[in-house]
Amino acid sequence: MIALYHYPFSQHARRVVSLLEEAELKYELKHVAMDKSEFLSPEYTAINPNQQVPTFHDGNIIIHESNAILRYLCFKHHLNTWYPLELPQRALVEQWLDWNQCRLSGCVTDIVLNKVFLGDQGDPSAIKRGEENLQQLMDILSTGLEGHSFLAGNQATIADLSVASNIFQLGIAKAVPKNQNILDWYQRVNLIKGFAKSLPEHSLT
């Protein structure tokens, strides 16, 4: 049985839920109360030494790093539509998965963590840095979407699930991008049932 240590406001955890749902795999969600700092507890640190969500268990296999979990699931369950075998598409999927982690993720964290989740403790200089970087990143994403419906062509892949989880996160901080290509693409991703199912049931109060 698959178990996923999860928090509904974690974009990294939600992208895994999107794929589990799309692949119709059975899984159990183990709630990590990040709002109560449960991710820092000794019990959770023993599960994931990074003190981060998600962590994924499949029998004896334990994985942290959300995109690695997506790749694992695709390989194990032959989800070749989500993770295409053809080299040109595969190259684009890899590019956007890594871009999401290496370029976009830090910017989203700067903005959303500091503006929303940390409240009065948020660091204004991190928000400023994030907001300064965001438009350049959104222009890169928008250019990448030029001429096709999804990031690696006309079929949604794990790259779309991964990047779109960060675009939802920006919405929490009311920092939704304005680029039309991105808005149109994000609407298409929202029509993917697994993505819609992964979204938090309640908004933050």
Ligand X SMILES: N[C@@H](CCC(=O)N[C@@H](CS)C(=O)NCC(=O)O)C(=O)O
Binding site residues, ligand X, CB under 6 A:
10-12, 39, 51-54, 64-67, 101
Q: Which residue is nearest to ligand X (CB)?
A: 52
Q: Looking at the DSSP assignment, which residues form a beta bridge with residue 64?
A: 55
Least gap, CB of 129 to ligand X (angstroms):
17
SS3 label, residue 147: coil
E strand residue ranges, the chain = 2-6, 27-31, 55-58, 61-64
Least gap, CB of 93 to ligand X (angstroms):
16
CA distances from 72 to 12, 57, 64, 103, 202 (A): 15, 11, 11, 22, 29
Termini Cα distance of the chain: 33
Residue 115: which region, alpha, beta or left (left: phi > 0; alpha: psi -120 to 50)? alpha
Closest to ligand X by CB, 66 vs 89, is 66
The residue to which tokens 């030029």 are assigned: 146
Closest to ligand X by CB, 11 vs 157, is 11
Token readout for 43 is: 């019990």
Closest to ligand X by CB, 51 vs 133, is 51
- In contact, 9 and 34? CB cutoff 8 Å: yes
Least gap, CB of 22 to ligand X (angstroms):
18
Provide CB contacts within 8 A for 200, sequence distance 6+: 8, 9, 14
Least gap, CB of 55 to ligand X (angstroms):
9
Closest to ligand X by CB, 70 vs 134, is 70
Residues in the chain, how many?
Answer: 205
Least gap, CB of 6 to ligand X (angstroms):
10
Least gap, CB of 180 to ligand X (angstroms):
28
Token readout for 176 is: 């939704």
Closest to ligand X by CB, 12 vs 115, is 12
Closest to ligand X by CB, 162 vs 181, is 162
